[in-house]
């Protein structure tokens, strides 16, 4: 059965996702380290910044800094997963693996979509683990509905964030250029966002950048899911979905074009 992802069969897409997960799980030590890193990061930042900032006003309610920061830190986990996964595109090209894959009856679109699925799965696992561990650590409580919504929100957030990196992959020529662009952009996306700090704390014109930052949009979605009434987070989910779809279409188009000239 051939379908909309460029003529490949569903089994080819599943094969690529299988490969992405095999690569991720090939070393138990790597898995443990990649899971532990965002948790340690979360601990350090939350305790250090929490002491400095104290309580935070969110939607008119005074909440602890931990409750404020934890949903944002889940997005930080998405950011780190997206960075490493998008980078693999260049590594695969330079190692000859990309040519090997594209020599199978697999379309460039299927290859790019498999990158998305692989990132979504890994990033969601990281995000949920981070949410779980920090929730326990800081004695926070979220009801089941919020956990379920987080389970939907995290993959959507990962699509939005990895799209930004995949767009860069499509626009630059070498791994070196990508790493430079990625490092620069990641710093901006991380610190000019509401992961650690409420939006009010940013001054004009930085607050405009913060507002448009996909990381802020994802972090605010996660914050809505964990802290706000249902009516609010449904809107936030829709916003992330819409923006993620737009960026995905752009990234897929650009990369498809690039992958047709190996």
Partner 1 sequence: MTSNLTVAIAINDVWKKYGRVQALAGLTLEVPKGSLVGLVGPNGAGKTTLVKILLGVTSYDSGQVTVLGLAPRTQGMQIRGQTAIVHQRSGVDAFLSVWDNVQIYIRLRGLEVAASETKARELLRDFGLEKVLQQPMIMLSGGESRKVQIVRALLLDPPLLVMDEPTASVDPESRRTLWSKVRQLTSKGTTVLWTTHDLHEMAAVGDWAFVLKGGQLVRGDTPRNLARLVGGDVIEIRGRFSDELRANITEIPAARLIRHSSTELVFESNSPEAALPRVVAVLHDCEATISAISIRSVTFEEAYVRLVGGK
Question: Which 76-95 positions form the footprint of partner 1 (CB under 8 A)?
Answer: 95
Span of 20-28, 138-146, 176-184, 204-212 interacting with partner 1 by CB under 8 A:
20-28
* Binding test (CB under 8 A) with partner 1, winner from 33, 61, 96, 234: 96
SS3 at position 146: helix
Based on CB atoms, which residue is closest to partner 1, 14 or 33? 14
Q: Of 251, 98, 87, 107, give the one whose Cα is nearest residue 174.
A: 87
CB of 27 to partner 1, least distance (A): 7
| Residue 74 sits in the site that holds partner 1 (CB under 8 A) | no
Length reported for the chain: 262
Question: What is the sign, positive or negative, of the torsion defined by CA atoms of 226, 218, 87, 148?
Answer: positive
| Structure token pair of residue 6 | 């460029």
Span of 3-11, 115-123, 154-162, 231-239 interacting with partner 1 by CB under 8 A:
3-11
| Residue 104 sits in the site that holds partner 1 (CB under 8 A) | yes
CB of 248 to partner 1, least distance (A): 22
Answer yes or no: are the C-beta atoms of 46 and 70 closer than 8 Å: yes
| Residue 16 sits in the site that holds partner 1 (CB under 8 A) | yes
Instruction: Tell me the β-bridge partners of 57.
Output: 62
Span of 10-18, 135-143, 181-189, 197-205 interacting with partner 1 by CB under 8 A:
10-18
CB of 92 to partner 1, least distance (A): 9
| Residue 27 sits in the site that holds partner 1 (CB under 8 A) | yes
Based on CB atoms, which residue is closest to partner 1, 19 or 253? 19
Q: Of 248, 200, 246, give the one whose Cα is nearest residue 220.
A: 200
CB of 148 to partner 1, least distance (A): 31
**Sole residue written with tokens 């509905």:** 145
* Binding test (CB under 8 A) with partner 1, winner from 67, 102, 164, 219: 102
| Residue 235 sits in the site that holds partner 1 (CB under 8 A) | no
Span of 6-14, 131-139, 177-185, 230-238 interacting with partner 1 by CB under 8 A:
6-14
CA distances from 150 to 93, 124, 154, 158, 178 (A): 34, 9, 6, 12, 30
Read off the DSSP letter of residue 199: G
Answer yes or no: are the C-beta atoms of 102 and 260 closer than 8 Å: no
Helices (H) and strands (E) in the chain, counts: 10, 2
Span of 49-57, 100-108, 127-135, 172-180 interacting with partner 1 by CB under 8 A:
100-108
Dist. CA 258–CA 246, nearest whole Å: 19
Dist. CA 141–CA 95, nearest whole Å: 46
Query: Which residues contact partner 1 by CB under 8 A?
Result: 7-9, 11-12, 14-16, 18-19, 22-23, 26-27, 95-97, 99-107, 260-262
């Amino acid at each position: 059965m051939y379908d909309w992802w460029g003529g490949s069969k569903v089994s080819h897409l599943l094969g690529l996702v299988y490969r992405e997960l095999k690569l991720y799980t090939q070393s138990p030590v790597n898995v443990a380290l990649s899971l532990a890193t965002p948790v340690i990061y979360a601990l350090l930042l939350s305790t250090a910044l929490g002491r400095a900032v104290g309580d935070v006003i969110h939607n008119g309610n005074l909440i602890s800094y931990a409750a404020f920061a934890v949903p944002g830190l889940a997005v930080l986990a998405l950011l780190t997963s997206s960075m490493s996964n998008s980078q693999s595109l260049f590594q695969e090209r330079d190692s000859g693996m990309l040519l090997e894959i594209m020599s199978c009856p697999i379309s460039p679109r299927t290859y790019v979509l498999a990158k998305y699925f692989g990132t979504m799965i890994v990033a969601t696992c990281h995000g949920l683990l981070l949410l779980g561990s920090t929730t326990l650590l800081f004695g926070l409580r979220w009801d089941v509905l919020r956990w379920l919504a987080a389970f939907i929100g995290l993959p959507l957030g990962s699509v939005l964030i990895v799209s930004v990196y995949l767009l860069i992959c499509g626009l630059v020529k070498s791994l070196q250029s990508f790493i430079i662009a990625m490092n620069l952009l990641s710093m901006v996306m991380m610190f000019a966002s509401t992961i650690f700090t409420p939006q009010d704390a940013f001054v004009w014109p930085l607050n405009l950048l913060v507002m448009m930052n996909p990381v802020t949009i994802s972090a605010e979605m996660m914050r809505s899911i964990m802290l706000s009434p249902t009516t609010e987070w449904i809107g936030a989910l829709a916003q992330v979905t819409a923006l993620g779809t737009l960026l995905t279409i752009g990234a897929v188009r650009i990369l498809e074009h690039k992958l047709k000239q190996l």
